[in-house]
């Protein structure tokens, strides 16, 4: 066992190491959702800590639009995100991107309180409502659909749903409400005979951190609780950008979990029909790639289909072993 500070959450999860240099607990900044036609290429984010690194966990990244006059749909996929000071700059897809924006605060910058070398500086978090909290974790069965539970009064569009599973021929699609499992194949949808075990970990942002009566609490200079062992926080273990080929997480991640969602568009042809499919995720042996998910539209193969397009936004990686035994 490595040296450091280990805490046991009240929620029944495994013990976690707060001093591990490879683990960061990002703090939440804001929800991003432009109204129709008002999305911009630059997202200004107030409240960012000086020197912090921002990232977005996308909850929507793409759209397929049949305008009624064209046989071939218009496909829009969010492009790359880059940081410039307290702004995120989007290269493409300004009206389809939705998500939650986080910051990674530099290690040990506050200069007071409990010193956690090369780890998250919880004392630098200046708002008691900003740390992502795990409010649901369970090993569930998707056979072939599973509806995400309602947690309090927070809209499901604000949930970050991470998952770990192991099936080379099944793609998971998530529309913000229901997790659906499909055969990763050309042609139309198929859910025949699918029953998949999935570890699901849900984070909700913006709620006040509730101190634990028995355990470890960390308070900032304003007296706000920014960490509590009542619930396990979002423990970041790196990033991964899905492609059509399998990718592995960083060394030391036992059971990779990544946020579910649609990560672009992929096409296929079968029996004279062109299909446009939302790209979901396929995970097996602790590796992940994009796969052909639910059908978004179809048309005759006498017309060419748009090229496959996947997002270039890195997705955060956590370790399911930190949440579910």
Residues 231-275: pLDDT tens digits?
887 888 999 999 999 999 999 999 999 999 999 999 988 999 999
Judged by phi (left if over 0) then psi (alpha if -120 to 50, else beta), residue 12 lies in left
Instruction: Give the up-direction half-sphere exposure of residue 325: CA atoms within 13 A in the CB hemisphere.
Output: 6
Residue 165, φ and ψ in degrees, nearest 5: -155, 180
* Token pair in block for residue 246: 């399998």
What is the C-alpha separation between 272 and 270, in angstroms, rounded? 6
pLDDT at 310 over 90: yes
Mean pLDDT of all residues belonging to the chain: 85
In the predicted model, is pLDDT for residue 222 greater than 90?
Answer: no
pLDDT digits (tens, 9 = 90+) for 284-296: 999 999 999 999 9
What pLDDT shows up at residue 4? 58
Confidence tier at 308 by pLDDT (50, 70, 90)? very high
Structure-model confidence comparison of residues 115 and 178, the more confident one: 178
Radius of gyration of the chain (CA): 20
Q: What is the pLDDT of residue 136?
A: 93
What the block records as the tokens of 84 is 């410039």
List, for residues 35-68, the tens digit of each pLDDT value: 655 556 888 898 888 888 999 999 889 988 887 7
Residue 317 · residue 239 · CB < 8 Å = yes
Residues 182-191: what's their mean pLDDT?
Answer: 95
- Check residue 74 and report its DSSP letter: E
SS3 51: coil
Q: What is the pTM of this model?
A: 0.86
Task: Select the more confidently predicted residue: 163 or 111.
Answer: 163
Confidence band of 134 (pLDDT split at 50, 70, 90): confident
Task: Determine contact, residues 16/72, Cβ cutoff 8 Å.
Answer: no
Contact, 180 vs 213, CB < 8 A? no
Residue pointed to by tokens 């979990």 = 257
- If you average pLDDT over residues 170-179, what whole number do you get? 96
C-alpha 173/C-alpha 114 separation (Å) is 42
pLDDT of residue 186: 92
How confident is the model at residue 201, as a pLDDT? 97
Mean pLDDT of 15-29: 71
Could you tell me if residue 116 is inside a domain?
yes
Q: Is the dihedral of CA 196, 285, 13, 56 positive or negative?
A: negative
Compute the average pLDDT of residues 193-202. 97
First to last CA, the chain: 17
**Residue-wise pLDDT tens digits, 161-173:** 999 999 999 999 9
Determine the structural domain holding residue 303 and report its residue range. Answer: 6-322
Selection from 95-99, 125-129, 130-134, 141-145 with the highest mean pLDDT: 141-145
Where does the pLDDT of residue 112 fall: very low under 50, low under 70, confident under 90, or very high at 90 and above?
very low
Instruction: Give the per-residue pLDDT at 35.
Output: 65
Residue of higher predicted confidence among 218 and 285: 285
Is 162 part of any domain? yes
What is d(CA 263, CA 60) in angstroms, rounded to the nearest whole number? 8
167, two tokens: 């099936």
Query: Does 1 map to a domain?
Result: no
Q: Is residue 34 part of a domain?
A: yes
Burial class (CB in 10 A: 0-12, 13-18, 19+), 265: buried
Domain count along the chain: 1
Phi first, then psi, for residue 157 (nearest 5°) are -65, -15
Tell me if 254 sits within 8 A of 167, measured CB to CB: no
Q: Tokens standing for 306?
A: 């748009």
Higher pLDDT, 310 or 225: 310
Question: Is 220 within the bounds of a domain?
Answer: yes
139: which 2 tokens?
């090993």
């Amino acid at each position: 066992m490595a040296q450091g500070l280990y805490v046991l959450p009240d929620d029944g999860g495994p013990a976690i190491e707060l001093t591990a240099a490879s683990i960061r607990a990002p703090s939440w900044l804001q929800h991003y959702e432009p109204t129709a036609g008002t999305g911009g290429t630059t997202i200004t984010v107030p409240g960012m800590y000086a020197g912090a690194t921002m990232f977005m966990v996308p909850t929507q990244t793409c759209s397929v639009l049949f305008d009624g006059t064209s046989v071939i749909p218009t496909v829009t996929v969010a492009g790359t995100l880059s940081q410039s000071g307290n702004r995120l700059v989007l290269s493409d897809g300004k009206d389809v991107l939705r998500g939650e924006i986080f910051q990674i605060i530099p290690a040990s910058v506050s200069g007071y309180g409990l010193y956690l070398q090369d780890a998250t500086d919880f004392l630098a978090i200046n708002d008691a409502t900003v740390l992502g909290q795990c409010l649901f974790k369970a090993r569930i069965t998707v056979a072939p659909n599973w509806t995400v539970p309602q947690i309090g009064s927070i809209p499901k569009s604000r949930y970050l749903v991470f998952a770990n599973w192991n099936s080379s021929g099944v793609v998971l699609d998530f529309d913000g409400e229901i997790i659906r499992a499909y055969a990763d194949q050309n042609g139309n949808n198929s859910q025949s005979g699918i029953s998949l075990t999935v570890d699901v970990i849900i984070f909700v942002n913006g709620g006040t951190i509730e101190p634990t009566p028995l355990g470890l609490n960390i308070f900032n200079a304003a007296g706000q609780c920014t960490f509590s062992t009542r619930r396990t926080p979002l423990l970041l273990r790196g990033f991964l950008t899905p492609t059509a080929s399998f990718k592995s997480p960083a060394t030391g991640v036992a059971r990779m979990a990544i946020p579910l969602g649609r990560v672009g568009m992929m096409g296929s042809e079968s029996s004279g029909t062109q299909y446009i499919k939302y790209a979901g995720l396929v995970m097996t042996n602790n590796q992940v790639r994009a796969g052909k998910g639910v059908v978004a539209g179809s048309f005759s193969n006498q017309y060419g289909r748009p090229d496959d397009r996947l997002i270039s936004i890195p997705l955060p990686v956590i370790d399911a072993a930190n949440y579910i035994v």
